[in-house]
Amino acid sequence: MSYPRTRTRLRAAALLAAALLLTTTACTGDPDRPDTTAVAAQISGPLCAALPTGDEPGNPTYLAGQPVDTALRWMPTLTTFEAALRTSGLLADLDRDGVTLLAPTDDAFLAKFSDDTWDTLMTRDHDKLRTLLKAHLIAGTHTLDDLAAAGTATTLDGATLTVTRTAASTRFGDKADAVCADYQAANARIHIVNTVLGPLPTTADGTGHRAH
């Protein structure tokens, strides 16, 4: 009889199909889940030590697979910048287009604007807020090395920034230093800077507390 031989052939075919399915799954992964196994960017700068590392939530390896809005929410020094991007309506656009962010810290915003000025920007003057934020966005994803090698960068508000590397840091526009650079997110690169860029005047009182 041929039944045992037929069953053997069918079992072999089933095992082969299962092996192929496992191989395909291992290669492609779940398309709906961000790839968090990729090698993290080599972030650098004095502020990096204060940000999540290793297996901590929000570490660079995890952020490399996240959209920009999610990545920014995991970075505790960028709450003001993230809130401004969300309020202005620009945040949704960042997930569609490759972009480099020069992201000022919360302390940088505190040193730049009084409470009254910032409240006005966030509640009423959204056109001016968008212009301010575009001064911190560069089309395309660029490492800090790439920007320094180019020597200049054009922001989305149309301004041209000089990019100068010294032994201590990389400086944008002769006033903002990169303090933790080369975070990756999906379709984006984030460099944290210590000064707010753009043409708006400083209205803070210089004491480290926002003036009313």
The CATH number given to whatever domain includes residue 91 is: 2.30.180.10
- The predicted model scores a pTM of 0.79
Q: Does 122 map to a domain?
A: yes
Residues 99 and 166 in one domain: yes
What domain range includes position 17?
Answer: 1-33
Residues 119 and 186 in one domain: yes
Tokens 């191989």 found at? 23
Element (H, E) at 24: helix 3-28
Residues 189 and 94 in one domain: yes
Compute the residue count for the chain.
Answer: 212
Task: Please report, in tens digits, the pLDDT of each residue of the chain (212 residues total).
Answer: 443 443 444 344 444 443 333 333 333 334 343 343 344 558 999 999 999 988 898 999 999 989 999 999 999 999 999 999 999 999 988 877 799 999 999 999 999 999 999 999 999 999 999 999 999 999 999 999 999 999 999 999 999 999 999 888 999 999 999 999 999 999 999 999 999 999 999 999 876 554 43
**CA dist., res. 117 & res. 51, Å (int):** 29
Q: Backbone phi, then psi, for 177, in 5-degree steps?
A: -95, 140
Q: Give how many domains the chain has, as a whole number.
A: 2
